Amino acid sequence: MKNRWNGIYGQQSIIEILEKLISSSSIPHAFLFTGIEGIGKELTAIRFTESVNETNNSDFDRIRKIISSFSEPYVKYIYPLPRGKNENDDSGPFEKLSQDDLDNIKEQVQRKVQNPYYRLDIEKANVIKKSSIKDIKKFLSMSFSDIKFRTVLISDAHFMNEEAQNALLKNLEEPPEGVIFILTTPYPGLLRETIKSRCWALNFKPLNNYEIKEILVNYFKIEENLAESVAPFSNGSVTNALDLIDNDFYFLLDKTISILRYSFARKYHSALEEMSFFLKENSADLMRILIQMIIIWLNDIQKNRIGNQNYFFSKYSETLEKFNSKFHELEINETVVKLDYLNTVIKNNVNLNLIASNIIFELSALTDTKIKSRLN
């Protein structure tokens, strides 16, 4: 079992379910793999495809290489694509794309083949086209009597628009023999109920810190100390961990501490200046990172109060202790809830400068309450 699921971390319950299905020879025709980004959903789909096609003859090594390269005739790999110039409903998914787009897509898929935890980064790829779903029909029309199972792998399935979902539904309603549909998404709520109801749903768990570290080191060649430091801030996602590293993780820690210090001291102008990094390029992702790091720091405050020294902000343990020595009676849970709410409204295209101001206000209000109580 270990070799069969090589490279998959932290999904033992999922593996056990899939193993039972393989042993029973009762393979559902469609799966929905859900869970946050960067936890191995696509790699599991590939390993499952290898497993259901496993043979004892020497030809299986060749088969495994085809499957692990996300290649036909074993795998039809569908993912979000950019829209080409003058593209219309009759155009193929790649037909109207520029050569630069095609070269970029080829490079990205090759990176995915080499590292199954790599996330495709295709410019302006924000939709799974109806033409990509219609292309499945060609894949299904080909007859391969020597292949036990072929897989249609739809990555980030929530990027299918209404037309694409309708087109997919037709395939799911009349599934051909020997074809398995596997849809992966962190946002199953964006899929039609009629699609979800036809899929065997498996929810993948976030990874633990050790698993995040191992993947960063083994698959992305990240230095071990950095991988170990960033893992607790990743929320169990390799994708989140890489975002932190790409944005200079240690620099982000320093910036977070500076914003906290200035906000607690009610030095609003200085706090906003420190915020400017997180407001650059109007990046909602950077602002989410900041909010998450502030929440983690506040949770470390709670740990310090109960004598738990397993801090995420271990580099700043002295800062945590000094804060609690001054403000040991402060109730911070309400602030955490308010910050978490700000994190959720970012996706509604709320002005990030307004979000930044609200963060500073909530943090300054936290200590301001204590000062006022002393004056009274």
In this predicted model, what pLDDT tens digit does every residue of 83-97 receive, in sequence order? 998 888 788 999 999
Asked if residue 85 lies in contact with residue 56, where contact means CB atoms within 8 angstroms, the answer is: no
Which band of pLDDT confidence, cut at 50, 70 and 90, is reported for residue 369?
low
Query: Which pLDDT value is given to residue 281?
Result: 65
Residue found by looking up tokens 């992966």 in the block: 184
Cα of first residue to Cα of last residue in the chain, in angstroms, is 67
Q: List pLDDT tens digits, range 317-339.
A: 888 998 988 888 888 899 999 99
pLDDT at position 3, please? Answer: 76
Q: Report pLDDT digits (tens) over 103-149.
A: 999 999 999 999 999 999 999 999 999 999 999 988 988 878 889 99
Nearest to 280, CA basis, from 214, 352, 229: 352
Say what the pLDDT of residue 372 is: 45
pLDDT at 343: 87
- For the segment 247-259, what is each residue's pLDDT rounded down to a tens digit? 899 999 999 999 9
**Amino acid found at 267:** K
Kindly report the length of the chain: 376
Place of tokens 């101001």: 357
Q: How far is CA 334 from CA 326, 340, 374, in A?
A: 19, 10, 20
Spell out the residues 6+ positions from residue 216 whose beta carbon is closer than 8 angstroms to its own. Answer: 222, 226, 227, 230, 231, 238, 241, 242, 245
Is the domain covering 12-205 a CATH 3.40.718.10 domain?
Answer: no
User: pLDDT tier at 167 (50, 70, 90 boundaries)?
Assistant: very high
Tokens of 197: 């109801």
Instruction: Name the nearest CA neighbour of 335 among 362, 305, 358, 369.
Output: 362
Supply the pLDDT for residue 69: 96
Q: How far apart are CA 194 and CA 188, in angstroms?
A: 12
Taking a C-beta distance cutoff of 8 angstroms, is the pair 272, 237 a contact?
Answer: no
The amino acid that residue 82 corresponds to is P
d(CA 231, CA 242): 10
| Rounded distance between C-alpha atoms, residue 122 and residue 82, angstroms | 8
Question: Would you place residue 370 in the very low, low, confident or very high pLDDT band (cuts 50, 70, 90)?
Answer: low
Q: At what angle do helices 317-327 and 249-264 cross, to 10 degrees?
A: 20
Percent of the chain with pLDDT over 90: 69
Do 244 and 292 touch, CB atoms closer than 8 A?
no
**Residue listed under structure tokens 């909602």:** 284
The two structure tokens encoding residue 311: 């801090």
Q: State how far the Cα of 270 lies from the Cα of 59, in Å rounded to an integer.
A: 65
* Strand extents, DSSP E, the chain: 30-34, 75-78, 150-154, 179-185, 200-203
Give the mean pLDDT of 154-182.
93
CB 342 within 8 A of CB 291: yes
Report the DSSP beta bridge partners of residue 160. Answer: 128
**Where is mean pLDDT largest: 40-49, 53-62, 306-315?**
40-49
Distance CA 294, CA 349 (A): 21
Instruction: Identify the residue with better confidence: 181 or 373.
Output: 181
Residue 357 has pLDDT above 70, yes or no: yes
The stretch 44-71 carries a mean pLDDT of 92
Please give the mean pLDDT across all residues of the chain: 91
Amino acid letter, residue 120 = L
Q: In this model, does residue 375 exceed pLDDT 50?
A: no
Whether residue 362 is predicted with pLDDT greater than 70 in this model: the reply is yes
* pLDDT confidence of residue 289: 86
Continuous segment of H or E residues that includes residue 16? helix 12-24
- Cα separation values, 213 from 206, 209, 217, 313, Å: 13, 6, 6, 17
Q: Check: CB of residue 184 under 8 Å from CB of residue 33.
A: yes
Residue 209 has pLDDT above 60, yes or no: yes
Residue 17 has pLDDT above 80, yes or no: yes
**Which H or E element spans position 194?**
helix 193-196
In terms of Cα–Cα distance, which of 81, 198, 188, 69 is closest to 132?
81
Strands 150-154 and 179-185: parallel
